[in-house]
Structure 1
Amino acid sequence: MNMAETERKISEQIRNVQFAIKLLVLVIFLGYMMIWIMMPTNIFWLHWLPHIYTATASTYFGLQGANLLIYSFPILLIATLGCLHLHLGKYVDDSDTRVQKAAYSLSWNRPVLVRGPLGIISLVELSFLLMFVALLVWSFSAYVVDMFKNITREAASAMNVSVWELKLRSAALLLGLVGNVCLAFLFFPVTRGSSVLRLLGLTSESTIKYHIFLGHTALTLFTAHGLCYVVFWARTNQISEMIKWNKIGISNVAGEVALVSGLIMWITSFTPVRRKIFELFFYTHHLYMAFVVSFVLHVGFPYSCIMLPGFYLFMIDRYLRFLQSQQRVRLVSARILPCQTMELNFSKDPRLSYKPSSIMFVNVKSVSKLQWHPFTVISNNNTDPDKLSVAIRCEGRWSQKLYQKLSSQIHRLEVSVEGPYGPASTSFLRHEMLVMVSGGSGITPFISIIRELLFLSRTPELNIPKVLLVSAFKKSEDLAMLELLLPDSGTFCNITNLKFRIQAYVTREKTLATENPKQSQTIYFRPDVLDRPVSSILGSNSWIWLGTIISCSFLIFLILTGLLTRYYIYPIDHNTNQIYSYTAKSLFNMLFLCVSIVIAATLVFLWNKKQNAIYVRQIQSADSPTSIESPGPESWPHNFDTELESLPHQLSLEQFTTIHFGQRPDLKKILLEFEELKVGVLVSGPKKMRQDTAAICSSSLAKNLSYESFSFNW
C-alpha cells in the first residue's frame, strides 16, 4: 500500500469520526431545544422540573444543579465536541474533501431575501430565523394562556386589585420570560473564536446581524417588562417596590440597573449614532458587564443558567483575546500605495495557520489606545510562512491618522493584534468557475483567495476553477490596489498556471490619468526585543486547547460552587432557598465563574507561551534567516520609492486585465453568461452591490450560481 492510499484511508476514517461527532451534537441540540419548547408549559413546570430536581438533588449543588444540567451543560458539551471536530479537520486536506454538493443542498444556500431589515438572507438562514421567531411566538402565547386562565375576579379581589391590573402584572412577567429566550442566544454571534459557529460553517462576522436582531428584540421585551411593572406598581400604590432589594427572591433595584444599562447600549447602537460617533458606541457597549451582573442579581444565579452557556463561551473568548492583545507584535514593514491604501507586513510564527478571507483586529497605540479595527488578511498561509499582511484603506479618522504616521518618517509602531479569525474550511474548489465581484476596498478578501488558488495551481492533479475578478473603483489611482493581488516576495508560482481574468471598472473617470505617475512607498521598521511574531494564542493545536479550557474551567467552577454549597450554604438553609441571601450566592457564583475561566485559560496560555519561547530559541540557534527579516541598523528607518506604472503596462497582470472607464459593471449580463454547472459568486463591497448580485443569483435564470458575501458593514 503506497503512502497516498494510506493517507486517503486515514482521511476517510477522520471524516467518519467527524460525522459521528456531528450526529451526537445534533442529538444533544434537539434535546436542548425540546427543553425550550416545553419550558412555557405547565407540563414542564409541574411535572418535568420537579422530577429533575428530585433526581439531581444534592447537598453540593442544591436546586441550581438541575439548572446547570439542563440549561448549561448541553451547550458547553456541544462547544467541546465542536472543538474536537475542528481539531480533526486539521488532518483532512481541503482539496481532498471537495464534495460535489447536490442541487438541493446548493439551493439551501441561495439568497431568498435580498433587501430585508437583516440584509441578504439565504434559505437556510431564513429557516432558522423563522424557527426562532416561532419559538418566541410559542413561548409568548403559551405563557399568556397558562397565566391568564387563572386570573379571575375572585383572585383579583383577594389581592385587592382589578382584573386588568392582575393581567398587566402577568404580562410584565411573561415579557421578561420571553426576553430571556433572546438573551440566551445573544452572545453566540459575538464570540469570535466560537467552535459552535465554526461547526455550523459560520463566522462571527457573518452572524453579527443576528446579534443586532437579538439585542433589539431582547431590549424591546425587557423595556416593556419594566414599564409594565412600573405601571402596575403605580396603579396599586406600590411604587416603593422600585427601591426594594430583597434578600430572598427577585431584586427589583438590580433589574432596574440592568435595564438602564441595556437602554444606554441600545440607544447608542442605532446606525446613526454608531457610524457617526463610533467611540460613544464602543465605550458604552462595555456596559454589557454591568447588564449581565445586574441581571444575575435580579433573577438569581440558578435561573441565570438559562443564559449562562452563551455568555460563558463569550467570556472565555474575551479573556483569550485580552491575553493576546497584551502582546506586542513585530511590524516589519509597510507599503503605501498611491490610492492611500496601506499594506502592513507582520512577522508570523510559521506554525500559525489561517484560511483565506480571514480577518485580524489591529490596535496601534500611538493612534488610539482603545480602538480595535478589523482588517482582511491578504497574505497566504502556504506561500508566506513567516509573514502575515493586512490591507487598510484610508477612509475613516483612525486610518487617516495611521496614514499620517506612516508618512512621517517614523522609526517603529507599537502594534497589538487579535486573531486572525476565519472560516473553519473553504469550498472554493467545488466550483468550476469563481466570479469575484468587488467594489473599492472590498477587493481585499479576494486577494488571499486568489493567492491560495495560485498556490494550489502548482498541483496538476487538482481541478482549479477558472477565476474572473470584477472590480469597480472610483478613480484610476485606485487601480493600484490590484498590485496587492501578487506579493512582492517573488516566491509565487507563475500566474499563467491559473485561468484568470480581471475586469476593472473606473466609474468616475473617462481616461487613465498618466500625467504624473504616483509612487508607492515601502517603509521598514526598527525591531524591538519585546516584539513577537503573530502567533495563535493557544498554539498550533488551538481547537483542542480551547476544548480543554471549556471543559476544565467548567469542572473547576462545579468544584468551587459545590464546596461552597456543601460546607457553607447548606448548613445554613439546607437547600430550602429561603434563608441564605440570593445576592451573596449569585456574587459567589459569578466570582467562581471568572476565577475558573482565568485559571484554566491562563495555564493553557502560559504553557503555549513557554512552547513558543522554546521554538523561537531553536529557530534563532539554527541561524536560518527568514524572508521577512528586518533590515540592519544602517537602514533604520529605511524608505524607498518605486514608480508605480499604470496597470495596463504591468508585465505581470496586463495580459489578464481589461479596464473600462466611465461605467459600472453590468452584473446581470456578466453573471448570466456562464454555462458552467457550478459557478461560485463571491461578493464584497457596498451594500447595493451585494444586494444586486444576490438578486441575480436568486433569480430563476441563475440555477448554476452559488452566492457568498463578505460584509464588514453592520
Structure 2
Amino acid sequence: MKIFMGLVFAGWIALWSVKAWRDWWPVWLPKLNDHTNSTYFGSQVLGSIYRHLHAQTGYKDSHSSYLVAWKRPVLVRGPQGVVSGIELTFAVMWKIQTAIVGFYCSLAGHLCFAFLFFPITRISSLLPLIGLTSDSSIKYHIWLGHIVMVLFTAHGVGYFVYWASTNQLVKLIKWSKTHIANVPGELALLAGFALWATTLPRIRRRKFELFYYTHQLYIAFVFFYALHVGMSTICQILPGVYLFMVDRYLRFLQSRTKVQLVSARLLPSEGIELNFSKRLRYNPLSTIFINVPSVSGLQWHPFTISSNSNLEPQTLSVIIKKEGSWTQKLYRMLSSNDALNVSVEGPYSPISANFLSYKSLVMISGGSGITPFISIIREFIHQSNTHNIATPNLVLICAFKNSRDLTMLDLLLPVGGNISDLSRLNLRIEAYITRENEAPGDNDQPMIRTICPKHDPSQAPIVAVLGPNSWFYLAMIISSSFIAFLLLLGITQRFYIYPIDKNTGKVYSRSTMTVLQLLFMCVCIIIACTIPFLKVKRENLKEAKQIKALDVLTPTTSPSSWYHCSDKELESLPQESLVKATNVHYGRRPNLKMILLAMEDKDVGVMASGPAGMRHKVAAVCSSGIADNLHFESISFSW
C-alpha cells in the first residue's frame, strides 16, 4: 500500500513538473488526450485506506524504515530553523511551483494587455465591426485594465517570493543585456500601481485631475514593459498599441487649434449650452471632447452633441450641466462674458442610427441624460420639415429634481427655432419633478440668457482632423508609417547592429535595441500623421478665406453674419415655451414598467440615458419577456 501510494503521489508531482516544459501544452497534452482516458486516484482516499489498515492490524513502523533518512535534519542554522529532508523536498517543490505560477500569470496578463488599447482608440475602424464605439467600449478597457494589473501583480509577487525563499533577491536589481531585464519590469509595475490606485470610481469622479495626471503614467508603463520583455515580445501586442499611438497623436494635432465659440445659452438651472462654429458633418448621438485651458489646462470632458448636422449646418452645440468644480468655473466665466479659448477632439459618430427604424420610440432620461435625445428629436424635425418623411411615435419621459430644470426642454429647439417646428412630429413629453409637489407661480418662471462671447480672429470653426476623406487618410497613415517602420528596422539591423555583433563577438544590448525600435515607431507615426494633417489644414484655411470673402458681399441678414454677434448679453426672445406643451407631474417618479408595457406598437425602441439605477430598471423591463415588442438601447456617459 505504501509503495502504491508513493507511486501515485510521485506521478502526480511529475505531472506538475512536466507542465513546466515548453512541449507540454502544444505537443504532449494533445497526444495524451487523444490516446488515454485515465483518471487520477486521490491521495486522500489511499491515505484513508492505509490508516484504516494500520489501525486494524496494530502494525508499527520500524525505526529502520527507509523513511528515517528523510526525517533526518538537513538544514540546522538556516532562517527556517531545523529542516528535515522531506520538508526541504516539499519546500523546493513549492518554490518551483511559485515561479511557474508567476510565469503563467505573465503570459495571461500579456494576452489581456494585447487587447487593452483597442477600446480607447476613438478613431477606429475595428470597433464598428463588432458593433462597438469608443464610448460604449470604455467599460471593456476598465475590465481589461483591472485584469492586467491583477495578473502582473501576481507575476511580480510570485517571482519575489521565489527569489526570497531561494536567497536570490539580488535578481531584483538585475538588468540583463541579452535576456529578461528585471529592473524595468519592477519600474513598470510601480507605474502601474500608481495608475491603478486612482482608477477607483470615488477617486476618478471626485479627483478627476489626479486621475488624469496619474493615468499618463501609461507611457512609462508601456516603455518599461517593452524594456522588460524586449521588442520581439512587444510585437505580439503591437496592433493595439500602434493604433492607439496613431489615434493619440492625431488627437494631439487637432487639440492645438482653438475653436470659435459663437454663443452660449445660460439656463436658470445653471446649465450651459455652448454653440460652436463648424464645417463638418456628424450623426446624431455623436460625442466630442472639450478642453477649456482657462478653467483647467489638462481636463478633457466628453459631451454628447445636442445639435443636428442637417438642421444646423453651421453650428455644433453641447449641453453641460453645472455639477463639479470644472463646470462651476466655466459657468462663472461665461456669466461675466470673459473671452474663452476652447479646444476640442472629435466629434466621434456612432456606428448606426437604429432609432430611425422603429415604429415607436420611447426616450427615458434623468437629469442631464436628456442631452442625447435632443439630437434625436432635432433629426426628426429635419426629416419631417425638409424631406416630408413620416416619423415614428415619439415619447419623451424625463425626470428632473426641480422645476427650474424644465427649461432644458426649451433646448429641444435650436437657437432661433420656433415651437411650430415640432408641429409635424407625433411627440408626447412627460416630465416628472421629483423634489417639488406643486408648480411655481407665473412670476417665478425663469428665462434663458443668450451670451455672445468676444470674437478672437485666431479661433477657427471645428473641422474633422483629417477632413472629409478621413478614413482614406487614416488607412494611408497606418500602412505607410508601418512600412516605413519595418524598413528602418531592417536597415538598422543590417548596417548597424549586425556589424557590431559580427566584429566584436558580443550580443548587442536588447534594451538599447528596444529603445531604438520604439523611437523609430514614434518618428514614423509623427511624420505619417503630420503630412496629411497639414494638407487638410491648408485646404481649410483656403476655404475659410473664400467664405469670409463671400460674407462681405452678402447682406448682413445671411446666416453667416450670426457668427459676429455684438459684445453684449441678451435676454432670450419671447416665444411660446415648450414647457407649456408638456405634461408635468410633480412630487413623483415615472412608473417605467407601466409606461413601457402600455406601448402597443409592434416594434418599439426604448432608449435610456441617465443614472445607472434608472437604466437598470428599464433594461429589466425590456428583458423580462413580458413584452416582446420592446428593444432596449442604453446610453451611458458616466464611466
**TM-score, normalized by length of structure 2?**
0.83
Equivalent pair of 2:254/2:465 in contact (CA under 8 Å): yes
The residue number in structure 2 matching 1:494 is: 421
Q: Distance in 1 between matches of 2:627 and 2:563?
A: 52
Deviation at 1:460, TM superposition (A): 6.0
Q: SS at 2:184's partner residue? A: helix
Tell me which of 522, 537, 547 is aligned to 2:450: 522
The residue number in structure 2 matching 1:324 is: 254
Closer, same or farther in 2 for the Cα pair 1:184/1:631, shift >3 Å? Answer: closer
The residue number in structure 2 matching 1:58 is: none
Q: Distance in 1 between matches of 2:419 and 2:220?
A: 51
Q: Distance in 2 between matches of 1:357 and 1:706?
A: 18
| Counterpart amino acid of residue 540 in structure 1 | P
Deviation at 1:677, TM superposition (A): 1.4
Deviations 1:147-191 (A, max 9, x none): xxxxxxxxx99x998122111111111110110111001111111
The residue number in structure 1 matching 2:638 is: 713
Q: SS at 1:665's partner residue? A: coil
Q: SS at 2:430's partner residue? A: strand
The residue number in structure 1 matching 2:238 is: 308
Deviation at 1:581, TM superposition (A): 1.0
Q: In the alignment, is residue 284 of structure 1 matched against residue 214 of structure 2?
A: yes
Deviation at 1:676, TM superposition (A): 1.2
Closer, same or farther in 2 for the Cα pair 1:491/1:628, shift >3 Å? Answer: farther
1:677-692 matches, within 5 Å, as: 677-692=602-617
Equivalent pair of 1:254/1:298 in contact (CA under 8 Å): yes
Q: In the alignment, is residue 418 of structure 1 matched against residue 345 of structure 2?
A: yes
Q: In the alignment, is residue 397 of structure 1 matched against residue 325 of structure 2?
A: yes
Q: Is 514-523 or 664-673 further displaced after alignment?
A: 514-523
The residue number in structure 2 matching 1:469 is: 396
Q: In the alignment, is residue 456 of structure 1 matched against residue 383 of structure 2?
A: yes
Deviation at 1:493, TM superposition (A): 7.4
Q: Distance in 2 between matches of 1:42 and 1:451?
A: 62
Q: In the alignment, is residue 605 of structure 1 matched against residue 499 of structure 2?
A: no
Deviations 1:175-216 (A, max 9, x none): 101101110011111111111112323111111111111011
**Runs of at least 5 residues in structure 2 that lack an aligned partner in the other structure:** 1-20, 29-85
Equivalent pair of 1:348/1:387 in contact (CA under 8 Å): yes
1:223-262 matches, within 5 Å, as: 223-262=153-192
Deviations 1:573-624 (A, max 9, x none): 4799981111011001100110011000000100111111121122223235
Q: SS at 2:243's partner residue? A: helix
Tell me which of 421, 427, 433 is aligned to 2:360: 433
Task: Please report the RMSD computed on the Cα atoms of aligned residues, expressed in angstroms.
Answer: 2.6
Tell me which of 196, 203, 222 is aligned to 2:152: 222
Equivalent pair of 2:393/2:427 in contact (CA under 8 Å): yes
Q: Distance in 2 between matches of 1:538 and 1:493?
A: 38
Q: Distance in 2 between matches of 1:663 and 1:403?
A: 30
| Percent of paired sites with the same residue | 49
Closer, same or farther in 2 for the Cα pair 1:680/1:576, shift >3 Å? Answer: farther
Q: SS at 1:497's partner residue? A: coil
Q: Distance in 2 between matches of 1:575 and 1:372?
A: 52
Deviation at 1:459, TM superposition (A): 5.9
Q: Distance in 2 between matches of 1:575 and 1:347?
A: 63
Equivalent pair of 2:192/2:218 in contact (CA under 8 Å): yes
Deviation at 1:642, TM superposition (A): 3.2
Higher relative contact order (CA 8 A, sep 6+): 1
Q: SS at 2:436's partner residue? A: coil
Q: Is 442-451 or 162-171 further displaced after alignment?
A: 162-171
Bigger Rg, structure 1 or 2: 2
Q: Distance in 2 between matches of 1:41 and 1:698?
A: 47
The residue number in structure 2 matching 1:94 is: none
Closer, same or farther in 2 for the Cα pair 1:696/1:628, shift >3 Å? Answer: farther
The residue number in structure 2 matching 1:693 is: 618
| Counterpart amino acid of residue 354 in structure 2 | S
Q: Distance in 2 between matches of 1:341 and 1:575?
A: 70
Q: Distance in 2 between matches of 1:273 and 1:342?
A: 25
Q: Distance in 2 between matches of 1:452 and 1:493?
A: 15
Q: Is 270-279 or 426-435 further displaced after alignment?
A: 270-279
Tell me which of 593, 599, 604 is aligned to 1:674: 599
Closer, same or farther in 2 for the Cα pair 1:491/1:188, shift >3 Å? Answer: farther
Deviation at 1:674, TM superposition (A): 1.2
The residue number in structure 2 matching 1:126 is: none
Q: In the alignment, is residue 664 of structure 1 matched against residue 594 of structure 2?
A: no
Equivalent pair of 2:268/2:405 in contact (CA under 8 Å): yes
Deviation at 1:570, TM superposition (A): 2.4
Closer, same or farther in 2 for the Cα pair 1:303/1:605, shift >3 Å? Answer: same
Equivalent pair of 1:168/1:232 in contact (CA under 8 Å): yes
Equivalent pair of 2:181/2:228 in contact (CA under 8 Å): yes
The residue number in structure 2 matching 1:629 is: 561
The residue number in structure 2 matching 1:371 is: 299
Q: SS at 1:471's partner residue? A: strand
The residue number in structure 1 matching 2:430 is: 503
Q: How many residue pairs were aligned? A: 558
The residue number in structure 1 matching 2:459 is: 531
| Counterpart amino acid of residue 174 in structure 2 | K
Q: SS at 1:458's partner residue? A: helix
Equivalent pair of 1:472/1:506 in contact (CA under 8 Å): yes
Equivalent pair of 1:517/1:643 in contact (CA under 8 Å): no
Closer, same or farther in 2 for the Cα pair 1:534/1:44, shift >3 Å? Answer: farther
Deviation at 1:489, TM superposition (A): 2.6
Q: In the alignment, is residue 407 of structure 1 matched against residue 335 of structure 2?
A: yes
Closer, same or farther in 2 for the Cα pair 1:505/1:644, shift >3 Å? Answer: farther
Q: Distance in 2 between matches of 1:494 and 1:577?
A: 81
Q: Distance in 2 between matches of 1:189 and 1:528?
A: 36
Q: In the alignment, is residue 558 of structure 1 matched against residue 483 of structure 2?
A: no
Q: Distance in 2 between matches of 1:387 and 1:576?
A: 65
Equivalent pair of 1:437/1:470 in contact (CA under 8 Å): yes
Q: Distance in 2 between matches of 1:382 and 1:611?
A: 23
Deviations 1:18-55 (A, max 9, x none): xxxxxxxxxxxxxxxxxxxxxx98488789xxxxxxxx
The residue number in structure 1 matching 2:39 is: none
Closer, same or farther in 2 for the Cα pair 1:631/1:299, shift >3 Å? Answer: closer
**TM-score, normalized by length of structure 1?**
0.75
Q: Distance in 2 between matches of 1:46 and 1:328?
A: 60
Equivalent pair of 1:355/1:424 in contact (CA under 8 Å): no
Q: SS at 1:518's partner residue? A: coil
| Counterpart amino acid of residue 617 in structure 1 | K
Q: Is 483-492 or 216-225 further displaced after alignment?
A: 483-492
Q: In the alignment, is residue 336 of structure 1 matched against residue 263 of structure 2?
A: no
Tell me which of 172, 176, 185 is aligned to 2:102: 172
The residue number in structure 2 matching 1:90 is: none
Closer, same or farther in 2 for the Cα pair 1:170/1:293, shift >3 Å? Answer: same
Q: Distance in 2 between matches of 1:231 and 1:678?
A: 60
Q: SS at 1:329's partner residue? A: coil
Q: SS at 1:708's partner residue? A: strand
| Counterpart amino acid of residue 188 in structure 1 | F
Q: Distance in 2 between matches of 1:190 and 1:631?
A: 34
Q: Distance in 1 between matches of 2:128 and 2:461?
A: 25
Closer, same or farther in 2 for the Cα pair 1:575/1:268, shift >3 Å? Answer: farther
Q: SS at 2:320's partner residue? A: strand
**Runs of at least 5 residues in structure 1 that lack an aligned partner in the other structure:** 1-39, 48-155
Q: Distance in 2 between matches of 1:577 and 1:711?
A: 59
Q: Distance in 1 between matches of 2:237 and 2:273?
A: 41
1:7-156 matches, within 5 Å, as: 42=23
Closer, same or farther in 2 for the Cα pair 1:492/1:451, shift >3 Å? Answer: farther
Q: Distance in 2 between matches of 1:616 and 1:574?
A: 59
Q: Which runs of 4+ in 1 moved over 6 A?
A: 43-47, 574-578
